[in-house]
C-alpha cells in the first residue's frame, strides 16, 4: 500500500508515523496511550481496511505530499467482502459512530466549547481491542508521572480532557480479571489520575466536581493498599480544601487522617510528600485565621518532615520539593506579616522554572500583598494586576491571594483606581 511504502521509505516505524500525524494536527504533546492507539489505526489504513478520512490532510502534511496525489481514489479503501452492515443506522461502537464522535470532539475543541456527553466514550471505544493484550502497568505509571509534571506548568483545566480519557481507559481495564498485584496497581493509577483531575477542576473553580473526584481518589487509594498514596490523597486534598475555603472541620479531618496514616513516628507519606502537604494545609488555615503561633508550629512540623523525605529535583504535583516548602513559608510569612516575608518570597521564586507560570503568579501576588502591607501601595497593586493579566486564568488559589492583596489595603487606599480594577477582576472571575 502507498501509505506503508511512503512511511518505510522515510525510515519511520508506525509509532513515529503516529507522532508525526499528531504533530500535523497541532497536538504537540504525544501521550503514549494516544500514540499507541493511533499506531494501531495506521496498521488498518496501510492494509486498506479503512480510509483515513480524519487523517488524510495530516498524512499529506506529515509526508510533505499533495493530498490529492496521495489519495487519488477513496474507493480503493473498501471493507472485505461480507462485512457490509445493511442497517442504515451505524451500530454502537462501529467505525462510523467513532468517526462521527471524533469529528464532534475535534470540532468542540476547535471551537473552545464543552465536549458533548458520550462523545469521548465513543472515541475511546476502539481501545477495547487493545485490552486483550497483557496489562502494561509500567506504561500507566509513566503516564501518571507525566501528568503530574505537566499539571504544574499548564493553565488550569488544560489537562481535564487527557486525564478524563485516561481515567475512563483505566476504568475499562478494571472491568477485566487481573491478578491481585495488577488490580492494586490499576487502583493506584486510577487514584493518582483522579487526584490530578480533582486538582485541575478545583483550580477552575468547580468545587463540587473536585470534592466528588477527591472522594473517588481516596477510595481507590484505600483499595490499592498503597499507604503512602493514602497519605498523599488526604494531604493534597486538605491543601486544596483549605484554598477553596471549605469548612475548617473538613480540612482538619483530612489533615488528621493523613497524620494518623503516616504513623508515629511517621514512616508513610514521606516518599510522595503527602504528610508534608498535610502540615502545609494546617499552616494555611492557621495563618488565615491570624494564629501566627500555630502557623509557626505547623511550619516547624513541615520542616521536620521535609528533612526526612527523599529529596528530588523534579517539579510535580505528585511530589514535594524545596520549592513547595518555600512556597508554603512565603504564604504564611506574608499572611502573618513576618519580617522574613521578602527574603522567603525571593528564595521561593528562584526555585521555580520559568515555565511554572501558575506557582510564580501566585508568589507574585504574595509579593504584592507584602508590598501593600509595607505601604508600597502603587507598586503592590501594579504587581498584583500584572500577575493576574499575565496568567489570564484566575484559579481558586489565585483569587484567594488577590483578595489577600485587597484586604491588606489601608482604608484610604481602597478607592485607588488600581484597587478598583483589581476588585473588578476578582469579582468578575
**Is the sign of the CA dihedral 207, 212, 213, 217 positive or negative?**
positive
pTM exceeds cut of 0.75: no
Whether residue 70 sits in one domain with residue 14: yes
Whether residue 215 sits in one domain with residue 257: no
**Residue 48 binned pLDDT confidence (cut-offs 50, 70, 90):** confident
Whether residue 170 sits in one domain with residue 275: no
- Domain of 393 in residue numbering reads as 356-429
Task: Tell which residue, 190, 176, 143, 181, has the closest CA to residue 30.
Answer: 143
pLDDT above 60 (res 312)? yes
Position 78 scores a pLDDT of: 37
**Is the sign of the CA dihedral 220, 283, 333, 372 positive or negative?**
positive
**Is the sign of the CA dihedral 44, 48, 51, 57 positive or negative?**
positive
Segment 413-422 mean pLDDT = 90
Position 262 scores a pLDDT of: 93
Count of the separate structural domains present in the chain: 4
- Over the stretch 347-380, which tens digit does the pLDDT of each residue have? 999 999 998 988 999 999 999 999 999 999 999 9
Asked whether residue 115 is domain-assigned, the answer is no
Asked whether residue 87 is domain-assigned, the answer is no
Residues 6 or more apart whose CB falls under 8 angstroms from that of 39 comprise 14, 15, 17, 18
- Over the stretch 223-280, which tens digit does the pLDDT of each residue have? 999 999 999 999 999 999 999 999 999 999 999 999 999 998 788 888 889 999 999 9
Asked whether residue 109 is domain-assigned, the answer is no
Position 39 scores a pLDDT of: 80
Whether residue 368 sits in one domain with residue 346: no
Whether residue 347 sits in one domain with residue 245: yes
pLDDT above 70 (res 88)? no
Whether residue 341 sits in one domain with residue 252: yes
Whether residue 368 sits in one domain with residue 420: yes
User: What share of the chain in percent tops pLDDT 90?
Assistant: 48
pLDDT higher at 125 or 308: 308
> Among residues 160, 191, 225, which one ends one of the domains?
225
CA dist., res. 212 & res. 303, Å (int) = 31
Asked whether residue 129 is domain-assigned, the answer is no
CA dist., res. 140 & res. 184, Å (int) = 13
Segment 121-147 mean pLDDT = 73
Asked whether residue 203 is domain-assigned, the answer is yes
Whether residue 379 sits in one domain with residue 333: no
Average pLDDT, the chain: 84
User: What share of the chain in percent tops pLDDT 70?
Assistant: 83
Q: Give the chain's radius of gyration (CA, Å).
A: 25
pLDDT above 70 (res 118)? no
Asked whether residue 242 is domain-assigned, the answer is yes
Task: Tell which residue, 128, 2, 168, 159, has the closest CA to residue 70.
Answer: 2
pLDDT above 80 (res 414)? yes
pLDDT above 90 (res 172)? no
Whether residue 238 sits in one domain with residue 348: yes
Asked whether residue 332 is domain-assigned, the answer is yes
Position 133 scores a pLDDT of: 57
Asked whether residue 121 is domain-assigned, the answer is no
Q: Are 348 and 370 in contact (CB under 8 A)?
A: no
Amino acid at each position: 500500500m502507498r501509505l506503508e511504502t511512503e512511511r518505510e521509505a522515510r525510515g519511520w516505524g508506525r509509532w513515529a508515523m503516529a507522532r508525526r500525524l499528531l504533530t500535523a494536527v497541532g497536538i504537540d504533546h504525544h501521550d503514549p496511550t494516544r500514540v499507541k492507539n493511533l499506531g494501531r489505526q495506521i496498521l488498518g489504513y496501510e492494509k486498506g481496511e479503512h480510509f483515513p478520512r480524519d487523517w488524510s490532510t495530516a498524512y499529506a502534511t506529515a509526508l510533505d505530499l499533495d493530498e490529492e496525489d496521495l489519495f487519488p481514489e477513496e474507493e480503493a479503501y473498501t471493507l472485505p467482502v461480507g462485512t457490509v452492515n445493511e442497517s442504515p443506522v451505524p451500530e454502537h461502537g462501529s467505525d462510523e459512530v467513532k468517526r462521527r464522535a471524533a469529528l464532534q470532539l475535534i470540532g468542540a475543541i476547535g471551537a473552545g466549547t464543552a465536549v458533548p456527553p458520550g462523545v469521548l466514550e465513543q472515541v475511546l471505544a476502539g481501545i477495547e481491542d487493545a485490552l486483550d493484550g497483557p496489562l502494561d502497568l509500567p506504561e500507566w505509571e509513566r503516564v501518571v508521572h507525566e501528568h503530574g509534571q505537566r499539571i504544574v506548568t499548564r493553565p488550569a483545566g488544560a489537562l481535564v480532557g487527557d486525564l478524563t480519557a485516561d481515567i475512563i481507559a483505566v476504568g475499562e481495564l478494571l472491568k477485566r480479571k487481573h491478578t491481585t498485584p495488577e488490580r492494586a496497581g490499576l487502583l493506584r493509577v486510577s487514584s493518582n489520575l483522579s487526584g490530578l483531575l480533582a486538582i485541575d477542576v478545583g483550580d477552575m473553580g468547580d468545587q463540587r466536581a473536585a470534592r466528588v473526584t477527591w472522594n473517588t481518589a481516596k477510595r481507590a487509594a484505600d483499595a490499592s493498599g498503597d499507604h503512602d498514596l493514602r497519605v498523599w490523597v488526604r494531604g493534597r486534598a486538605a491543601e486544596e480544601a483549605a484554598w477553596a475555603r471549605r469548612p475548617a472541620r473538613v480540612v482538619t479531618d483530612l489533615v488528621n487522617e493523613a497524620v494518623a496514616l503516616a504513623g508515629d513516628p511517621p514512616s508513610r507519606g514521606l516518599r510522595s510528600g503527602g504528610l508534608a502537604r498535610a502540615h502545609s494545609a494546617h499552616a494555611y488555615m492557621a495563618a488565615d485565621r491570624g494564629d501566627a503561633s500555630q502557623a509557626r508550629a505547623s511550619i516547624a512540623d513541615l520542616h521536620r518532615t521535609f528533612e526526612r523525605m527523599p529529596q528530588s529535583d523534579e517539579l510535580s504535583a505528585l511530589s514535594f520539593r524545596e520549592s513547595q516548602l518555600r512556597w508554603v513559608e512565603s504564604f504564611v510569612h506574608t499572611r502573618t506579616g513576618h519580617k522574613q516575608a521578602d527574603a522567603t518570597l525571593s528564595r521561593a521564586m528562584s526555585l521555580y522554572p520559568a515555565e511554572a507560570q501558575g506557582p510564580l503568579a501566585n508568589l507574585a501576588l504574595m509579593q504584592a500583598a507584602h508590598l501593600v502591607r509595607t505601604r508600597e501601595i502603587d507598586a503592590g497593586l501594579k504587581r498584583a494586576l500584572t500577575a493576574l493579566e499575565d496568567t489570564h486564568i484566575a484559579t481558586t488559589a489565585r483569587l484567594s491571594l488577590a483578595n489577600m492583596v485587597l484586604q491588606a489595603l489601608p482604608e484610604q487606599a481602597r478607592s485607588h483606581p488600581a484597587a478598583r480594577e483589581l476588585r473588578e477582576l476578582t469579582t468578575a472571575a
